[in-house]
């Protein structure tokens, strides 16, 4: 990657990936885009930025040509709970935007990355150490778009030779972006509430395991996969990756090591709980490790310590 276009740069991943890439490749070589411009954004002010609706393929192509991009990282999408509430819009954005981005990559010979998700799995998928290659019959519109996206990226690689790559992200935990409507976002919100209120009312029931990853590890995974030797990649667009698997009481127990009086209660949201129940408890990331050397730095304990430290600074809590 030398000149990179990102879509959805103001979302959970993009808001951290843009500065991460600019630190590596240079500010002028990372072109951030989103459907809106917001004030006082370091992403917008730190380098090139263009307003872009990913449903407008013509404008996307013009931006790629204008900046002479050789790589596209396509992040724009509706997340799980929001997509389930607005399935028609989710299909339009998640699939229409992806199709446009792939077409632009094909026409301009760009390398291409887009994330899939553990949401691509479903109730009939093996739930423990879910294999890389397994049955994928998701029960949500978000999951349907992720499976469809994996297949579409494979098609563009095999049919047109587009250098498509991707991972199935677990829940991503970050102190930078606010929770954005994902099923796993309880594992972000719980840290905010722990520091601000000393308690958290969880919408996911106790005992519900889901795979998670700290954002720093996720950002490194994107760069490492995009820089990997293509001759060693077998799966390309849907690598299982994970760092940890836990359920709500376990993250609460880690927080209590730092905030002694912290309390967790439960008020289960049936929509998000249903989504969580359809996903794996843990996944097998062997192929990512073998094909491009995937590895992580943070576990639940070290992540909790860092999250609380960084959030105290962000929230101005002493």
Catalytic residue among 25, 142, 209, 298: 142
Distances (CA, A) of 55 to 52, 86, 97, 117, 185: 9, 17, 5, 21, 26
The owner of tokens 């954004």 is 41
Q: What residues form DSSP beta bridges with 74?
A: 7
Active site residue 186: no
CA distance 198 to 264: 9
Region label for 293, one of left (φ > 0), alpha (ψ between -120 and 50) or beta (otherwise): left
Q: What is the 3-state secondary structure (H, E, C) of the chain?
A: CCCEEEECCCCCCHHHHHHHHHHHHCHHHEEEEECCCCCCCHHHHCCCEEECCCCCHHHHHHHHHHHCCCEEEECCCCCHHHHHHCHHHHHHHHHHHHHHHHHHHHHHCCEEECCEEHHHCCCCCCCCCECCCCCCCCCCHHHHHHHHHHHHHHHHHHHHCCCEECEEECEEECCCCCCCCCHHHHHHHHHHHHHHCCEEEECCCCCCCEEEEEHHHHHHHHHHHHCCCHHHCCCCCCEECCCEEECHHHHHHHHHCCCCCCEEEECCCHHHHHHHHCCCCCECCHHHHHHHCCCCCCCHHHHHHHHHHHHHHHHCCC
- Point out the residues that are catalytic: 142
């Amino acid at each position: 990657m030398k000149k990179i276009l990102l879509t959805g740069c103001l979302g959970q991943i993009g808001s951290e990936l843009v500065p991460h890439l600019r630190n590596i490749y240079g500010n002028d070589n990372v072109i951030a885009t989103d459907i809106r411009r917001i004030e006082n954004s370091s992403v917008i002010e730190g380098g090139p930025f263009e307003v872009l609706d990913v449903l407008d393929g013509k404008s996307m192509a013009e931006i790629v040509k204008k900046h002479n991009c050789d790589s596209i990282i396509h992040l724009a999408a509706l997340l799980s709970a929001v997509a389930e509430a607005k399935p028609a819009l989710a299909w339009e954005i998640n699939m229409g935007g992806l199709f446009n981005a792939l077409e632009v990559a094909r026409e301009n010979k760009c390398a291409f990355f887009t994330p899939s998700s553990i949401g691509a799995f479903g109730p009939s998928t093996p739930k423990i150490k879910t294999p890389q290659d397994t049955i994928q019959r998701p029960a949500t519109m978000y999951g349907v778009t992720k499976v469809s996206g994996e297949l579409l990226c494979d098609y563009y690689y095999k049919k047109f030779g587009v250098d498509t790559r991707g991972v199935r992200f677990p829940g991503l935990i970050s102190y930078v972006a606010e929770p954005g409507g994902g099923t796993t976002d309880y594992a972000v919100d719980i840290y905010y509430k722990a520091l601000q209120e000393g308690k958290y009312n969880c919408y996911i029931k106790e005992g519900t395991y889901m795979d998670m990853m700290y954002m720093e590890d996720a950002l490194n995974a994107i760069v490492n996969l995009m820089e990997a030797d293509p001759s060693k990649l077998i799966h390309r667009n849907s690598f299982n990756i994970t760092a940890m698997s836990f359920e709500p009481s376990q993250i609460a127990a880690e927080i209590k090591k730092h905030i002694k009086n912290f309390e967790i209660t439960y008020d289960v949201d049936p929509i998000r709980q249903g989504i969580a129940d359809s996903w794996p408890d843990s996944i097998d990331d062997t192929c990512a490790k073998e094909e491009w050397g995937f590895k992580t730095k943070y576990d639940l304990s070290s992540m909790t310590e860092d999250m609380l430290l960084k959030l105290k600074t962000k929230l101005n809590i002493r």
